[in-house]
Structure 1
C-alpha cells in the first residue's frame, strides 16, 4: 500500500530542523515522491508556500485527516544535495537505530544564530568607462586632489576594480571626507561583501609536484580509469607504512577535480589535520578546506556553505566531514580506515566506512579505503570480492622499514631495572640525542598513573558517579575521564584510613617525567588529550616537533597515525600490552595496529630507523606479527580466532544498551526485553543471545546501565530484530525512564 502522509522538515538550514510536520501526499505524487524529495508546501496561517524535505512516510496520523494540509508540488525530479543527505540519514537511522531527528542533525548543518561576516569594499562605479575616467583624472589633477588621484589610480590598477576598505583607509591613507566626496561625484561606491570565516591557516608551496613510483601509478591509473568509465566501487588500498598512500590520494583527487567533481578525505584524528591539509594545499591551494569539531559554529557553517556553493574542491576532516554537502561528489577517501574513531560513540552509532559506501552509492561516487593495517572486516570483504584489493609493497622514496627489537620486560625486572624505560631503549635514546636525531615514545595511556589504590585493604579510589577508577595526574588531582569529576589525591585510604595509598601503572605524564630524569638535557614535548584541549594545540605541538624545537615527543595514539617526520629515527613503544588484555575481542587487532603504525614513524627519511617494543608478552602473535610487519600472518591467526568465537566479520553482533536512573526498574525491564528477544528467535539456530548483564562500567554520571549481546550470521536479521525491539518498547507505557541504544558490530565492548 502506498503511503498517505509524508513527514516534512521545513527550512532545513534553520533551527526548525527540530520538528517535522505531517502533510497529505496527493494521488498524482504517490509514486514519484521519496525520502529526500524537495517539495513546496503551504505553511502557517497564511499558507505561504515554503520549501521542505521529505524525511519519512506513514499511513497513520495523530490529527483529523481533513485538517492535514496537502503537498503543493514536487520541486524537481532530481534529488538535491540536501535530499541525498536526508536519504542517507534515513539509511543511518534504519541500520543503526536512534531517531530520525538525531540522524538529520548529524548529516545536516543546522544554522543557529550565526552572524554573517562582511567586508566593506570600495568599487569604481559601472558608468566609469575609459573616457570618463580620463576626464575625472584630469579634473583631479587641475584641483591638485592628490588623495582622490591616489585612490583612482589604485582602483584602475587592479583587474577587479575594487579594493577593501582596510587597504583604502590604512595603506592609501584615504579619509572619510574624500570617500564621501567621490561617492557624491558617482566615481566610486562603497558596498558590503559577505565573506567566509577561515578554518585554519596553512601555508603551501605553489606548483608543487611529486613523481609517483611504478606501484603508486598503477593504483592511480586503475581507480581513475574506472571513474572515467563511470564504474563506481569500493577499493581497499593496503600499503605498508611509508609506501606513499597520501601521494596516491592526491593524484586521484587531481583527476577527480579535472572531471569537474569533488572529493572528501577522511582522517582518523584532528591531530592529523595540520599535516594533511598542508600537503593537499600544495596541490589545490585555497580550494581545500577542513571540517571538524574544533571549529566554531560560524566556521563550521561557512565551510559547509563553501562546499555546497562549489567554492572548494576538497574537504578534509575526521568522521563528520563525510557529510560535506558537495553537489557533484566524485570520491570519498578514508585514510587509516581501520581506526576505531570512525565509529560514532553516540547514537546513532554509525560507522563512517559503511556510511561512506552508502553515500557513494546514492551519489554514484567511488570509495577508497587506505591503511597499512586494514581492519579485519575490510580485508575479509576484499578477499571475498566485495571490495577491490590494491597493494603497495615498497616504501616510497629512499626510506626503508625500520629494524625492530622486542624487549621482554620480565627479564628487565629480573635484572633489577624498575624504570619504565628499558636499558636498550635508554641506550638508543642517548645515541639519537648525541646524533641530533629525534625520538617518538608512544604509550596508549594519558595521565600519570592508571589508578590509585590502598595496599592495606586493596580498595581502588573510584568516581562516586561512575563505576570506574579515578586516574591520577601529575598535579596530584584525581580525575574521572567519563564525567570529569575531580578531587585531590587523599593522604589516607577513604575505606580503611590506612596511609598505604599510592599509584599503580603508568601514563604519558609519568613517561615524560622519567625521560626528563634520565635525559635532563633533552627537549621534550607531550601530546595527549590533556595537552591538546586548546584550539590549534595539535598544530602547534606538531609544528614545533617538525621544526626541530624538541628532541623527544611523548604521546598517546594520536602521535602514531600518519605523521611523517624525516628526522625521527627511533620509536619506543613503552607498554605494548596495554591494549592486549582489554576486555574486547578486538584487543589483538588493536595491539597489532598500534605497534605497526608506531613502528612506521621511524626511518621515513634518509637515516635508517629502529623500533623498540617493550612487552611482558613477546610470544603473542599480534606482537610478533607487528614486529615483522607481517599483516598476512596476523590476519590468518585473527580470522581463525574470530570464526571460532563467532565474532565479526564471520558473524555479526548487535548490542542493546539499556540505561535508567532507577536500578531496580532497569533490571526488571532488561529481563523483560531479553525475554522478548528470545521469544522472537526461539527457532533460530543462527541467533546467539548473551545477557542481560551489567557492562564493565555499570554506572556513568549516576545513570545505571545494562547490556544484551546478540549474534547472528545475517546482518539484516539483526536490523529487523532492532525494529521489533523498538516497536515492543514503544507500546509500553511505563518506560519513560528507560533509554535504549543499539550498537552494531561494536568497536568497543560494554
Structure 2
C-alpha cells in the first residue's frame, strides 16, 4: 500500500521538538520508505536540511496539503529492515525511561553509516587440463616466461586470489589482461562485507555437557518450543552457577540448537575486553557465522556487521550492551553473561537496563532470554524466587576441582600488632610461599564505588546516615554528607565508637600497592592493571597475555582483573581492602562487595593446584564478607533482602532518581525544591488513598555536586508500583515543557533514572 504522508521525528534531542511532524512523500520515494527509515527533510523557517526518522504513515492530514513540506531524500544507509520493531521498541523505551523519542530512536536504530562492501578479485582458469598444457608449452617455446609461469600456477590451483598472483609470481596486470583476452582465464570480482573476526577457524569437538548442564540446556529449549506454541510460560531463565561451573558451554549448546531452528542469537558480555576471549570459543563452533560488535571497530566496520546481520550472513553476534540492537529479523535467544554487571546499565539517556530491553525484544520476536552469573543481581534472583523467571543451578566446577580455601583477615588486629603495611602477615607469608613454588598471585584492590568514605582504623567504625543506612561521604570543608536525603554532620575529631584519633578518609591505590610490593619482594615480577596502565590500545591484552604466559609472578589491579579470566597457575588471590566498596555511599554497596569478592575469589585454584584466598577488612563480621568467603549466595540474598525491604529499596520496591541539572547553582537548587513540591502535588490523591504508596527523599546535592560546570541535585521517589513512578516522571516532564515555553532562557535540565545502578 502506498501512502501520501509520513510522520517524522526530527533528529534533534531537545524536548520542545519531541513530537512527530507530517511531511508529504514524493512519488519517487513511494516504494522506498519504511518505518525506521532515516530521511532528509527541510525543517524550520529557513528550511534547514535535517535528518529525521519515519515513525508512521497516513493518507489523511489535518493540515492543508499546500502548507506541508516534502521529504527530500533517504539519508545514506537510511533503510532498516527491522524498522517496524525498532520504532515500537524506541517508543517503549521513551515511555519507560523518560528520554526524547529522537534519542530513543538513535539508540535503537543501529549505525547509519553506509556499509561499503570490499572488493575481492580472483583469477580462474577456463581451459581443460590438456588444453592448458598445450598453451603452456606454446608460451615456453616463445620464451613468454611470465605467461608460462602464470599458466603453470593455475594448472595446479585453477582459482587463486588476484593479489596473490601479482605478489607471488611477479606477474603484471597487462599479462593477465592478455590471457583474459585470449579466453584462457577470467578475472572474477566479488563484493563482500568485512568480518572483524580474525581468529583462525578450527574444528572443535562437540560440546560435552555434564548432567547438570544438559538439564539446563534442554529446559531452556523446551521453553523455547513451548513459547512457539503460544504457551504462557516464563520467557527468562536465570543460570546461577558457581565460578568455573561451565556456563559458557551451556550458552553454546543453547545457541547451536537455536541456530538449527533458523533463528539468530545475541551473546552479550559485560566488558569489551572479554570479547576476544569469548569470541574464540564461539568461532570454533560457528565459524564465520559469528561476528563481534565492540568499540574497537570503526563506524564502517560496525555498519558492515549490521548489514551482514540484515542480509542473514551471520547467526550469532557477540558484544557489550550495544550489540543488543543488532538488526536480526528472527532473534531466538538473547544471552547475558555475568548479568549482574553494572556495565549493562546505560548511564546516558535513555538510561535503560539491558536485561529489561532484552526481555522486550525477546517478547516482540518470540525468543528466550538466558541470564547467567555466579553472583546474580538481586533483581534477577528476586524475579526467579517470585516465579517470574526460571531458576537453574550449576553447583560443581567443570574441571571437578574444589572451590578455594578462604580466610578473612581482621586489619584492626594487624594494626594492634604494629603492622601498618597493605599486606597482612598471613597474606605476605602466602605470597612468599607462591613465589617459592613458582605459582602466581593476583592482588585485587577494590576501588569500585569509592567516594571518600571515612573509617576508624582502630575499630572499623564508619559513619552512616541515620535515615538511609548508607555511608556518609567526606566533602570539602570537612562535611559528612548523605547523597540520598541531604543529611550532613561535621567530620569527628575522634571515633564516636571507641574514642580513637585514627579516624579519617581512606585512600589507597594500585600504584602505591605496586611500589610496596616491589620493595617487599624485590625479585618478584609484578604487573599492574588499572585505568592508567590500560590507556593505550592493546595494553589490556598485552598485560593479560604476559600474565597468562607466566611472564609475571604477581598481578595487581582493580576490578578489571577479576572479570572472568582463567589463569590455571594462579593459586593465591588477595583482596587488599574489602571495605572500599562496602562503604560506598550507595544502597547497593553490600551487594557489589559480595559480587566482587566472590568473583575475585573464583580466580584461585582453577588449574591442577588448590587455591587460597585472603580477604583483608576492617569489618570481618559483615554479612557480605562472611557469605562471600563461603560463596553462599542464598544466605547473602536472604540477609540483604531484609535490609532492602526495611528501607524500601529495589527490588523490594522501585526507585526513581530525578536529576536537576543547571549551570546556575541557584537555579539547580530552586528547581529541585519546586520539583519536590510538584511531586507532592501530583500524588496527593494516591497518597491519601495509600500513604505507603510513595516516599520522597531529597532534594540533596548529587555525589558529584558540580560536573563540567553544571550543578546537580537529585530527588529520589520510592514506590512498589512502577506505573506510579511513570506518572511522576510524566508530570515533571510536562511541567518542564511548560517552563521552557514560558521562558526560552530556561537553562535547567531534568534526567530520569529508574532503579538506578549508581548513586547520584
**Residues 504 and 628 (structure 1), Cα distance of their counterparts in 2 relative to 1, 3 Å cut:** closer
Preserved CA contact (<8 Å) 1:342 1:351: yes
* Partner in structure 1 of residue 463 of structure 2: none
* Partner in structure 2 of residue 483 of structure 1: none
Indicate which of 711, 729, 749 corresponds to 1:739.
749
**Residues 375 and 451 (structure 1), Cα distance of their counterparts in 2 relative to 1, 3 Å cut:** closer
**Residues 53 and 149 (structure 1), Cα distance of their counterparts in 2 relative to 1, 3 Å cut:** farther
The residue correspondences of 1:580-599 to structure 2 (distance < 5 A) are 580-599=582-601
Other structure's SS at 1:578 match? helix
Other structure's SS at 1:683 match? helix
Return the alpha-carbon distance in structure 1 between the equivalents of residues 448 and 595 of structure 2. 19
Return the alpha-carbon distance in structure 2 between the equivalents of residues 239 and 605 of structure 1. 18
The residue correspondences of 1:316-715 to structure 2 (distance < 5 A) are 316-445=318-447, 505-684=507-686, 685=691, 686-715=693-722
Preserved CA contact (<8 Å) 2:124 2:188: no
Cα deviation for residue 518 of structure 1 reads 1.2
Preserved CA contact (<8 Å) 1:122 1:191: yes
Other structure's SS at 1:649 match? coil
* Partner in structure 1 of residue 730 of structure 2: 723
Indicate which of 230, 237, 240 corresponds to 1:238.
240
Other structure's SS at 1:597 match? helix
- Answering whether residue 216 of structure 2 is matched by residue 219 of structure 1, we say yes
Return the alpha-carbon distance in structure 2 between the equivalents of residues 229 and 144 of structure 1. 73
The one-character-per-residue Cα deviations of 1:472-524 (angstroms, maximum 9, x if unpaired) are xxxxxxxxxxxxxxxxxxxxxxxxxxxxxx99621111112212221121112
> TM-score normalised to the size of structure 1?
0.82
**Residues 131 and 728 (structure 1), Cα distance of their counterparts in 2 relative to 1, 3 Å cut:** farther
- Answering whether residue 113 of structure 2 is matched by residue 118 of structure 1, we say no
Indicate which of 302, 305, 308 corresponds to 1:303.
305
Other structure's SS at 1:399 match? coil
Return the alpha-carbon distance in structure 1 between the equivalents of residues 592 and 569 of structure 2. 27
Return the alpha-carbon distance in structure 2 between the equivalents of residues 679 and 259 of structure 1. 54
Return the alpha-carbon distance in structure 2 between the equivalents of residues 40 and 7 of structure 1. 12
Preserved CA contact (<8 Å) 1:122 1:188: no
Cα deviation for residue 309 of structure 1 reads 2.3
Return the alpha-carbon distance in structure 2 between the equivalents of residues 681 and 561 of structure 1. 43
The one-character-per-residue Cα deviations of 1:587-628 (angstroms, maximum 9, x if unpaired) are 110101000111111111121111100000000011111011
Other structure's SS at 1:566 match? coil
* Partner in structure 1 of residue 480 of structure 2: none
**Residues 663 and 410 (structure 1), Cα distance of their counterparts in 2 relative to 1, 3 Å cut:** same
Other structure's SS at 2:621 match? coil
Preserved CA contact (<8 Å) 1:447 1:510: no
Cα deviation for residue 217 of structure 1 reads 1.0
Cα deviation for residue 728 of structure 1 reads 1.6
Cα deviation for residue 303 of structure 1 reads 2.1
Cα deviation for residue 112 of structure 1 reads 3.9
**Residues 230 and 138 (structure 1), Cα distance of their counterparts in 2 relative to 1, 3 Å cut:** farther
Return the alpha-carbon distance in structure 2 between the equivalents of residues 129 and 43 of structure 1. 58
Other structure's SS at 1:695 match? strand
**Residues 97 and 296 (structure 1), Cα distance of their counterparts in 2 relative to 1, 3 Å cut:** same
**Residues 39 and 324 (structure 1), Cα distance of their counterparts in 2 relative to 1, 3 Å cut:** closer
Return the alpha-carbon distance in structure 2 between the equivalents of residues 84 and 447 of structure 1. 37
Q: Unaligned regions of 5+ residues in structure 2, if any?
A: 12-17, 26-32, 44-50, 72-79, 229-233, 455-473, 477-503
Return the alpha-carbon distance in structure 1 between the equivalents of residues 124 and 226 of structure 2. 48
**Residues 142 and 122 (structure 1), Cα distance of their counterparts in 2 relative to 1, 3 Å cut:** farther
* Partner in structure 1 of residue 147 of structure 2: 148
- Answering whether residue 91 of structure 2 is matched by residue 94 of structure 1, we say no
* Partner in structure 1 of residue 163 of structure 2: 166
Cα deviation for residue 397 of structure 1 reads 1.6
Other structure's SS at 1:601 match? coil
Return the alpha-carbon distance in structure 1 between the equivalents of residues 161 and 475 of structure 2. 57
Return the alpha-carbon distance in structure 2 between the equivalents of residues 680 and 719 of structure 1. 12
Cα deviation for residue 325 of structure 1 reads 1.6
Cα deviation for residue 740 of structure 1 reads 1.2
* Partner in structure 1 of residue 104 of structure 2: 103
Cα deviation for residue 57 of structure 1 reads 8.8
Return the alpha-carbon distance in structure 1 between the equivalents of residues 395 and 556 of structure 2. 29
**Residues 213 and 120 (structure 1), Cα distance of their counterparts in 2 relative to 1, 3 Å cut:** closer
Which sits farther off after the overlay, 606-615 or 503-512?
503-512
Other structure's SS at 2:442 match? strand
* Partner in structure 2 of residue 82 of structure 1: 83
State the number of aligned residues.
Answer: 676
Return the alpha-carbon distance in structure 2 between the equivalents of residues 736 and 349 of structure 1. 23
Other structure's SS at 2:329 match? coil
Q: Unaligned regions of 5+ residues in structure 1, if any?
A: 12-17, 26-34, 46-50, 72-78, 453-466, 470-501
**Residues 41 and 736 (structure 1), Cα distance of their counterparts in 2 relative to 1, 3 Å cut:** closer
> TM-score normalised to the size of structure 2?
0.81
Return the alpha-carbon distance in structure 2 between the equivalents of residues 610 and 691 of structure 1. 45
Preserved CA contact (<8 Å) 1:266 1:319: yes
- Answering whether residue 758 of structure 2 is matched by residue 748 of structure 1, we say yes
Preserved CA contact (<8 Å) 1:447 1:507: no
* Partner in structure 1 of residue 22 of structure 2: 22
What RMSD over aligned residues (CA atoms) do the two structures have, in Å? Answer: 3.7
The one-character-per-residue Cα deviations of 1:632-688 (angstroms, maximum 9, x if unpaired) are 110111111101101111110111111111122222222222222111101322011
**Residues 138 and 582 (structure 1), Cα distance of their counterparts in 2 relative to 1, 3 Å cut:** same
Return the alpha-carbon distance in structure 1 between the equivalents of residues 359 and 271 of structure 2. 20
Return the alpha-carbon distance in structure 1 between the equivalents of residues 633 and 286 of structure 2. 34
Other structure's SS at 2:534 match? coil
Preserved CA contact (<8 Å) 1:242 1:399: no
The one-character-per-residue Cα deviations of 1:297-348 (angstroms, maximum 9, x if unpaired) are 2222222222222222221111111112222211111011111111011111
**Residues 690 and 281 (structure 1), Cα distance of their counterparts in 2 relative to 1, 3 Å cut:** same
Preserved CA contact (<8 Å) 2:244 2:397: yes
* Partner in structure 1 of residue 283 of structure 2: 281
The one-character-per-residue Cα deviations of 1:215-241 (angstroms, maximum 9, x if unpaired) are 111111111233244457110001111
Other structure's SS at 2:684 match? coil
Return the alpha-carbon distance in structure 2 between the equivalents of residues 187 and 552 of structure 1. 63
Preserved CA contact (<8 Å) 2:263 2:330: yes
**Residues 44 and 513 (structure 1), Cα distance of their counterparts in 2 relative to 1, 3 Å cut:** closer
Preserved CA contact (<8 Å) 1:446 1:529: no
Return the alpha-carbon distance in structure 1 between the equivalents of residues 99 and 588 of structure 2. 25
**Residues 220 and 727 (structure 1), Cα distance of their counterparts in 2 relative to 1, 3 Å cut:** same
